[in-house]
Structure 1
Amino acid sequence: MNPRLFFSLIAASLLLAAFAHYLTENEIFQFVTASIAIVVLAAWLGKATESVAHYAGDRIGGFLNATFGNAAELIISFFLVREGLFDMVKASITGAIIGNMLLVLGLSVLLGGIKYKEQKFNAKLAGHNASLMTLAIAALFIPAIFMRELPPVKIETLSIVIAVVLIIAYLLWLVFSMVTHSDFLADLDPQESEPVWSKGVSILMLALSTVFVAIVSEWLVHGVEHLSSSFGWSDLFVGAFVIAIIGNAAEHSAAVLLALKGRIGGSVEIAIGSSLQIALFVAPTLVLVSLLIGRPMDFVFTPFELAAIAAGSLITISITRDGATNWFEGMLLLTVYIILGTAFFFV
């Protein structure tokens, strides 16, 4: 797309969202325009991340995309926590985890597999990702199992301990994967694409797009409650699929684009890395932040949410463990996502 046309589209979507937020009282219109703006901003964020990845490699580029892409989920969830909408927060966390593993990776593998018969990535990285997913599942299941045996005060303490431990584990994973064993987990994909911008401009674009995502995310939250009540949708469905799909727009654009260029390693790093970051860093951070703002949130997820995360992790581990993908495996991931989405809609 022509750069002038691209930035004109960004400006138009932002102006429309601002008009709806400040000058109208129709909350559905506000939600729709804010959602469109976030999706357009995600395309900007994806281009900036791809350009940064050219200079830093797919490992660091994927990490940056996951981090800046998850900024939308983190910011949206922060405002939901501030409003005391804990059920929707946990649902959005669930949706972000399974959305990245099943929808983002599924689309990337499917579309990339249609263009290339088979795409390969580092199998050792896939093995470590599988171990981290198992850790995340265990951490989410334990509070839910013990909640019937422990009083609320102890559940809150257990949640804090788990949150701190998961954050430490995630930070140690970053040290392991990007410092001490970076060569061990090196990318297999060649860096053949040309960067969109220079290194400095790429970083600036990454920062600017994230700032605008943060602003529009706050506008989005204002229409969430009205949306669920107007259509009769549960907080679980709105949080796990509506908000999660919008929040994952950045990962969608960047991951699919890399897969179509034959760089499935970058797609896997974005999709799986984003899910792990949500489970091991974003969710625990929200638990700790909730304490600071005087609205403590526990780490207890519903059986529906736990089942969805476990099912998503199981199929993802099964498909990625060999370090190779094809279009059929992408279809399997998307099938599980559709099944879960249908089940959540009827809850």
Structure 2
Amino acid sequence: MNKRHPFGLPIWKPALYKKSRSVVRKANSSLHASPSSSPELFLNPGNIAWTLVFGWWLALVMFIISIVMIIIPTNGRAYALVLRELAAYLLWPFGRYIERHVEITPSDPRHPSASVDEESGLLQNQRADDTAQRNKPTLKQRISSVLRLGLAGWIYYVLFFVIAAPLLLLVSTICWLCVVTIPMAKLNYILLRHLYRHPLTLRFKSSPSGQSQMNATGKPIIILLCTYQAIGLQYYKYTYDGINIMFINLLPIVFFVIFDDHVLKKYLPDSIVTSPTAIFSLSLASVIPLSYFIGMGVSSVSAQSSMGVGAVINATFGSIIEIILYSVALMGGKSALVEGSLIGSILAGVLLLPGCSMISAGVKRKEQRFNAKSAGVTSTMLIMAIIGILTPTLFYQMLGSFELRCTGCPESSNGTGVIACSQCYYDQMNPTLDPVYQNSVKPLMWICAAILPSVYFIGLVFSLHTHVDMVWKSSTPKAPKQPHQSYYQRLLPAHILSHLTHHPATAKDVAPSQTIPVTTSGPASLALYSATQNLPHTTSSPPLPSHSPPPTTAQIQDSTAGSNTTLYNPHNPNFIPIVGPNNLPATPITFIHAKEPDEDEDEEEAAGHDSPNWSKTKSFTVLFGCTLLYSIIAEILIETVDLVMDSLVVDEKFLGLTLFALVPNITEFMNAISFALNGNIVLSMEIGSAYALQVCLLQIPAMVGFSLWYNWDKEEVARYTFSLVFPRWDVISVIFSVFLLTYTYQEGKANYFKGSILILSYCVLVAGFYYIPPSA
């Protein structure tokens, strides 16, 4: 699907399908590194910045809380010890680790123990496995656990919820918004949860003891957190629920702009935050995440539907952002803004976006090729679209009425005493007063506006139904047809299908030190990391197949009963015993790491998933919610654009040509550049062409229809009407840009030279719009 993108279906987003993403795995693994016995300080700018910005005052607050706890009788010193160690850890957490003492007791998983450890904190009796989800503690057990805390525990949790938790959440939120500090955001959030669940079982260490993984009471030590770096530049690619973190962080701007315009503006009219420039800028920025979420919703719904339904949904919601914005602008008397935005969108789709894609593709490859046949279909539709939108303009330019306009006599005469009154020129009449426009051009315009959407749907039928094999077939030999292929198997590209297919692991596929998951009765899933150089008998054992089900709790508990246990039993591939305290060697062999359940969800493997991240219900909820929010944002934009233009030297049309045409499509530019960098120039080129076709075949007819409806039984005013009569420079720019793109398509090759030509052509045409005289 991503290699040969059928016309009319939405562009697949990079994070549309569930898959194991390397940046998410790296973010999670950076919190669960193996403790180092070397006395390094791990000094680097990011770690030092953490201490200077957050570490010192967090450590000071926790130390003050520990002083308060130390004077509390009965177990107050235990809480004070944890808080003092926490203060030192927050000051410099790098190279240090957090351990927890747990007790694994053999029991029947069908009858989980309801006992509550007094040290475990508030809700320790909750288990993390599926059995725990069905056996949550009753209200009586919860009350009993709270009463067992005693005075020191009650005061600890009061200080925790009032002081410690809000500060840790604040730091976690700030680090999340900074993007590059994602590990520290997750570290503070996970640490917060452990301090809530089992504070007295936590210990903060500088380096591992190296002799035993059991404490004096015989409980195994679990490594909860261990990190070495605070900053990573690669985390701009981090995704949550298939959504890039950059767009997640931009989403709060939407709600702040609405609150700013409707509430703060009334009470703080003179503040910088409520100034028209600030509201306008924030409103433009809020368009970016809304357009991204709408695009994700459209792609997700289409992936779970047939091709026809997907094409209809894409045609309906693919341009909803622009249609809402332009409709609100027309109701506000901004027809020049709408005209400039539509022309700017066409120029950006056929010149700027393909140019950026080709230059990005040239970073890694000298030249890339794309399907000339599919490009031919797109080029033909583009030419037809230009004919449809420019025919009324050319018709009116040739047959419209002209009138003689004179500027009048100057106030002073020349030196000879003769008055000069010859400054006259011919120009076309106002279309609303021209009988040719009213009687001939308007009916032609309505016919063209009705034909353009039919061209779009004819292209859908041609590309997706009748000639799908002829248009989208590749030059490679056709593979034997597989029986009973699902819809996703027909649509998904090979590189996604390869991840979605189960591959049994072989001995050479699994490293000897590969992590083997172990399910325990603790609150988090445990992973046993083996150091095989100290366990020579494990190297000859067969690896655990990647498709095998995880071991059950009963299997783990049965393994603890034996005295001579090994890391792996070749006779039972699902059997993974826990190493008992009597079998531990004298040298350090393992670290048992614990992960939060949320981390396991983020790091979900791709095997077995052939559906998008979002369900249909979630996708439609996002679609309608973002559409509603954008209608509010569009109204704010149009209200503030006049006040902003008073302080700018550009006119209304040029503002639409640049800002209003480019900002809603930033996500498409990012997708196109990303695909081009990864060698998929076909999809990058299709993104621009598909958007230009949507502007010509859907958005422009929609604006003509909206103008007809809005001005029905009203006196037609030019600034409240959008017509298919464009100025001459607009016509020349669109014709030249489409001609250049179709000529580029002919060879089926893409390189940085052609991309540079397209971008420079865009700059020349936009410069022409900037220097249009105001009188024109």
Which range moved further: 20-29 or 107-116? 20-29
Contact 1:112 1:259 in 2 (8 A): yes
Match of residue 462 from structure 2: 176
Partner of 1:320, secondary structure, is helix
Match of residue 192 from structure 1: 495
1:275 to 692, 695, 704: 692
Match of residue 325 from structure 1: 750
Contact 1:45 1:250 in 2 (8 A): no
1:258 to 668, 675, 683: 675
Partners of 1:237 and 1:220 in 2: CA distance: 16
Match of residue 11 from structure 1: 251
Gap change, CA 1:90 and 1:8, over 3 Å in 2 = closer
Which range moved further: 94-103 or 317-326? 317-326
Gap change, CA 1:257 and 1:134, over 3 Å in 2 = same
Matches within 5 A, 1:53-202: 68-148=317-397, 149-150=399-400, 151-153=436-438, 154-186=440-472, 190-193=493-496, 197-198=613-614, 200=616
Cα deviation 1:301-339 (Å, max 9, x = unaligned): 111211221121121111122222122222111111111
Q: Give the partner amino acid of 1:319.
A: T
Contact 1:50 1:254 in 2 (8 A): no
If asked which structure has higher relative contact order (CA below 8 Å, sep 6+), I would say 1
Contact 1:46 1:253 in 2 (8 A): no
Matches within 5 A, 1:163-242: 163-186=449-472, 190-193=493-496, 197-198=613-614, 200=616, 203-204=619-620, 207=623, 208-242=625-659
Partners of 1:97 and 1:330 in 2: CA distance: 17
Gap change, CA 1:122 and 1:63, over 3 Å in 2 = farther
Partners of 1:187 and 1:221 in 2: CA distance: 46
1:255: how far off?
Answer: 2.0
Gap change, CA 1:186 and 1:48, over 3 Å in 2 = farther
Partner of 1:258, secondary structure, is helix
Partners of 1:281 and 1:220 in 2: CA distance: 23
Matches within 5 A, 1:42-61: 42-45=291-294
Cα deviation 1:88-128 (Å, max 9, x = unaligned): 21111100111111222221221123123333322111112
Gap change, CA 1:186 and 1:212, over 3 Å in 2 = farther
Q: Give the partner amino acid of 1:3.
A: Y
Gap change, CA 1:225 and 1:171, over 3 Å in 2 = farther
Contact 2:315 2:698 in 1 (8 A): no
Partner of 1:297, secondary structure, is coil
Contact 1:287 1:297 in 2 (8 A): yes
Gap change, CA 1:301 and 1:164, over 3 Å in 2 = same
1:211: how far off?
Answer: 4.7
Partners of 1:268 and 1:56 in 2: CA distance: 25
The structure number with the bigger radius of gyration is 2
Contact 1:118 1:326 in 2 (8 A): yes
The structure richer in strand per residue is 2
Partners of 2:678 and 2:615 in 1: CA distance: 21
Gap change, CA 1:168 and 1:2, over 3 Å in 2 = closer
Which range moved further: 217-226 or 316-325? 217-226
Partners of 1:319 and 1:58 in 2: CA distance: 29
Q: Give the partner amino acid of 1:112.
A: A
Gap change, CA 1:110 and 1:233, over 3 Å in 2 = same
Is it true that 1:308 corresponds to 2:594 in the alignment? no
Is it true that 1:286 corresponds to 2:703 in the alignment? yes
Which range moved further: 188-197 or 231-240? 188-197
Is it true that 1:346 corresponds to 2:771 in the alignment? yes
Which range moved further: 224-233 or 90-99? 224-233
1:276: how far off?
Answer: 1.1
1:198: how far off?
Answer: 4.7
Partner of 1:183, secondary structure, is helix
Partner of 1:147, secondary structure, is helix
Which range moved further: 43-52 or 259-268? 43-52
The alignment of Structure 1 onto Structure 2 pairs a total of residues equal to 347
1:243: how far off?
Answer: 0.7
Contact 2:335 2:721 in 1 (8 A): no
Q: Give the partner amino acid of 1:161.
A: I
Cα deviation 1:103-157 (Å, max 9, x = unaligned): 2222122112312333332211111221222222222332222225242212222
Q: Give the partner amino acid of 2:240.
A: P
1:34 to 283, 288, 292: 283
Gap change, CA 1:341 and 1:297, over 3 Å in 2 = closer
1:231: how far off?
Answer: 0.4
Match of residue 299 from structure 1: 724
1:164: how far off?
Answer: 0.7
Gap change, CA 1:296 and 1:41, over 3 Å in 2 = closer
Match of residue 334 from structure 1: 759
The structure richer in helix per residue is 1
1:7: how far off?
Answer: 6.1
Q: Give the partner amino acid of 2:634.
A: S
Partner of 2:472, secondary structure, is coil
Gap change, CA 1:201 and 1:280, over 3 Å in 2 = same
Superposition TM-score, scaled by structure 2 size: 0.41
Partners of 2:746 and 2:313 in 1: CA distance: 23
Contact 1:99 1:245 in 2 (8 A): yes
Q: Give the partner amino acid of 2:637.
A: L
Match of residue 33 from structure 2: none
Cα deviation 1:219-272 (Å, max 9, x = unaligned): 222222333332031222111112101122232122222222322222222210
Partner of 2:635, secondary structure, is helix
Partners of 1:257 and 1:212 in 2: CA distance: 28
Match of residue 249 from structure 1: 666
Partners of 2:247 and 2:733 in 1: CA distance: 38
1:45: how far off?
Answer: 4.6
Cα deviation 1:166-211 (Å, max 9, x = unaligned): 1222221122112222222327694425787256478448625555
Q: Could you say what the CA RMSD is over the residues aligned between the two structures, in angstroms?
A: 3.1
Partners of 1:108 and 1:64 in 2: CA distance: 26
Contact 1:123 1:323 in 2 (8 A): yes
Q: Give the partner amino acid of 1:107.
A: C
Gap change, CA 1:117 and 1:57, over 3 Å in 2 = farther
Unaligned runs of 5+ in 1: none
Partner of 2:747, secondary structure, is coil
1:287: how far off?
Answer: 0.3
Unaligned runs of 5+ in 2: 1-237, 266-273, 401-435, 475-491, 500-610, 712-719
Q: Give the partner amino acid of 2:259.
A: F
Partners of 2:252 and 2:325 in 1: CA distance: 22
Partner of 1:106, secondary structure, is helix
